[in-house]
Chains A and B, each alone.
Chain A
Amino acid sequence: QQQVKQSPQSLIVQKGGISIINCAYENTAFDYFPWYQQFPGKGPALLIAIRPDVSEKKEGRFTISFNKSAKQFSLHIMDSQPGDSATYFCAAITGRRALTFGSGTRLQVQP
């Protein structure tokens, strides 16, 4: 059973544009929502994370928006650059459990 649903599966954005990736979760016990960035041949790298008591978190060009009532959260990449081309995973975790990942979004930023 997929507890974190991620969309879109793939995304093409022009350089300088905004990339938006959405995730929805089912388990209301989740209390930490990280985003990971993965380049080919590398492991997932923690990008940014948020807790459900915060509606938005911004770090540089990356922003997480969180809607607790809708059980949805999204990643916005402002001023997208070709170097941002990677696969992005949303994830969720509760307590001492391991991460539950979304299915991933392959982002391609065209120059």
Chain B
Amino acid sequence: DSGVTQTPKHLITATGQRVTLRCSPRSGDLSVYWYQQSLDQGLQFLIQYYNGEERAKGNILERFSAQQFPDLHSELNLSSLELGDSALYFCASSGGQGSNQPQHFGDGTRLSIL
């Protein structure tokens, strides 16, 4: 058990809809990262937050947004969903921002767009 909790585990919705994925980091971890895993693109970094502030952006679409709350949990919001957004979405957390802080992953949310 990594200590990172993601909910829900599965989400099925339709094109055009909006969903929110939730992540609770390991106790004490200040950094939260969101990754997307798809068959054709592999594991791709989306966005990072550190102690409530956005710190880095990767290949995140404009239709996607995220935030980290004062209690350090994070939410990833996906809107105007398209079939291609079907993927596994992982959250990872680490104690700090540097490269020597290992990232620990949750078990993901599987998003299926019908």
Contacts and interface: CB of A to CB of B under 8 A. Distances in A.
Contacts of A99: 33, 35, 43, 45, 92, 103
Interface in B12-65: 33, 35, 42-45, 48, 55-56, 58
Interface range, A side: 20 to 34
Contacts of B43: 44, 89, 99, 101, 104
Contacts of B98: 95-96
A12 B108 CA distance: 27
B104 A95 contact: no
A93 B45 CA distance: 11
Contacts of B103: 34, 46, 99
Interface in A53-111: 89, 93-104
B4 A98 contact: no
Interface range, B side: 20 to 34
Given A93-B99, A97-B56, A98-B58, A43 B4 contact: yes
B42 A104 contact: yes
Contacts of B85: none
Contact of B102 (A43, A46, A102): A46
A43 B107 contact: yes
B2 interface: yes
A64 to B, nearest CB: 14
A104 B42 CA distance: 8
B79 interface: no
B67 interface: no
B42 A44 contact: no
Contacts of A95: 98-99
Contacts of A100: 45
Interface of B: 2, 4, 33, 35, 42-45, 48, 55-56, 58, 90, 92, 97-100, 102-108
